[in-house]
Structure 1
């Protein structure tokens, strides 16, 4: 029986992170649920923690339709947002300080929203988290011309990674970690985490520039508008 191709040593233990929120505006929307875990080299989750927050605002029906959490449920069972934001930020800061890479799919969304939440509640934000691994950025860089959507569900299926319960923070976080490991088995990755992190900054910038051009060409953006390619935390406006 053949074994899986070897992972780079720096992918043998990875943290995974995902948020479910009240919407898609990183500056104004709020954390509803969060998951931080750790995967081993075989993609098994060996440590994990989940949070449910009372976000302090109503959860729109559209957001509830995605992740299933209603305003009433969050009010009844969620903890104060300041506690959740502080604990999630502390957990991630601790893992990063240990040199454990944090995998997050579309990392600029989750890390940016968390940073804005931290500022909102007087918590020291993660300004420049590193090392971070973003399977969405990496997949676009290594398989640039593949047609179709690049949502986590689609990309996980492409790399034969099971994803049950999409848009549940724990399921999405674990699937993203396993996609990162699948990418590393399929493509030649940089030799160090530091090199990969730096490359992703450039890839994110160029991918945003390309998407900006496309959106302008179809009239979705005005010629003077640009998409923010900052990664893994978007610039504060």
Structure 2
């Protein structure tokens, strides 16, 4: 038996934009799965307190009016999400997310904005263990050409998805959990690595990728919005 046969908690958010410091969470999903068994699921619809840009609505389908009418208050929803994540991580259960640095970073910013204890404050030993199939894939198949969005990687690893379902937090989480198992199927040694070691290996793998990619972007004249080499949570920016 490996960690792949034990419980893992998938996490994803949909938001008002791409800034982890300034944007807001609109929907979130936490799905717990043990091995190949049926998952248990929690989802949240949140009134972010600011207008949801049309471009964001086009992605996840949630309008400002719908969120205001049906959404929870941010403080209530965020407290529930943080309680569940901290409980899982504190028990050694891995949190799994695709490009999860974004989701964990915006969650930390949202918790701080609403005067709630952050995951970092709740977990003195660190936000760990975390598993990100995007980080794993970049490391294990470094030179593969092509895009590495969730839908692209599901195609690469043979994970069946309905494209129109993605960009809903719960659908993205289910696809991500399936993707982790598919990657481990292609690279069986992955399942034999203890979770603590796997977490640390991803920290280093992301650092190397972010450093090299930032250097390439600078060579092309891009100096803004460079990826943070710190994983799984980027250093806090100014929160507004």
8 Å Cα contact 1:132-1:197 kept in structure 2: yes
Question: Aligned partners of 2:174, 2:158: CA distance in 1, in Å?
Answer: 14
2:17 is matched with: 23
Q: Offset of 1:226 from its aligned partner? A: 4.9
* Secondary structure at the counterpart of residue 197 of structure 2: helix
1:76 is matched with: 69
Question: Aligned partners of 1:200, 1:115: CA distance in 2, in Å?
Answer: 20
* More helix per residue: 2
- Gaps of at least 5 residues in structure 2 are 121-125
Question: Aligned partners of 1:122, 1:97: CA distance in 2, in Å?
Answer: 21
1:37 aligns with 2:31: yes
2:206 is matched with: 204
2:172 is matched with: 172
Structure 1 pair 168/226, CA: closer, same or farther in 2 (3 Å)? closer
Q: Deviations over 1:49-71 (max 9, x none)?
A: 00000001000011001000000
What CA RMSD, in Å, does the superposition of the two structures yield over aligned residues? 1.4
Question: Aligned partners of 1:62, 1:137: CA distance in 2, in Å?
Answer: 27
Runs of 4 or more consecutive aligned structure 1 residues displaced over 3 Å after TM superposition: none
> What are the equivalent positions in structure 2 for 1:76-155 lying under 5 Å apart?
76-127=69-120, 128-155=126-153
Q: Offset of 1:81 from its aligned partner? A: 0.7
Q: Offset of 1:99 from its aligned partner? A: 1.5
* Secondary structure at the counterpart of residue 31 of structure 2: strand
Q: Deviations over 1:114-164 (max 9, x none)?
A: 000000011111123111000000000000000011111101111111223
Question: Aligned partners of 1:34, 1:197: CA distance in 2, in Å?
Answer: 23
Question: Aligned partners of 2:87, 2:178: CA distance in 1, in Å?
Answer: 21
Of 213-222 and 32-41, the range deviating more from structure 2:
213-222
Of 86-95 and 108-117, the range deviating more from structure 2:
86-95
Q: Offset of 1:191 from its aligned partner? A: 2.0
TM-score, normalised with respect to structure 1: 0.92
1:221 is matched with: 223
Question: Aligned partners of 2:19, 2:132: CA distance in 1, in Å?
Answer: 19
* Secondary structure at the counterpart of residue 198 of structure 2: helix
Question: Aligned partners of 1:201, 1:169: CA distance in 2, in Å?
Answer: 24
Q: Offset of 1:45 from its aligned partner? A: 4.0
Question: Aligned partners of 1:227, 1:149: CA distance in 2, in Å?
Answer: 17
8 Å Cα contact 1:209-1:226 kept in structure 2: no
Match of 2:159 among 145, 149, 161: 161
Q: Deviations over 1:16-44 (max 9, x none)?
A: 000000000000110100000112322x4
Question: Aligned partners of 1:111, 1:185: CA distance in 2, in Å?
Answer: 26
Question: Aligned partners of 1:45, 1:56: CA distance in 2, in Å?
Answer: 35
Q: Offset of 1:95 from its aligned partner? A: 1.2
Tell me how many residue pairs correspond in the alignment: 227
1:186 is matched with: 186
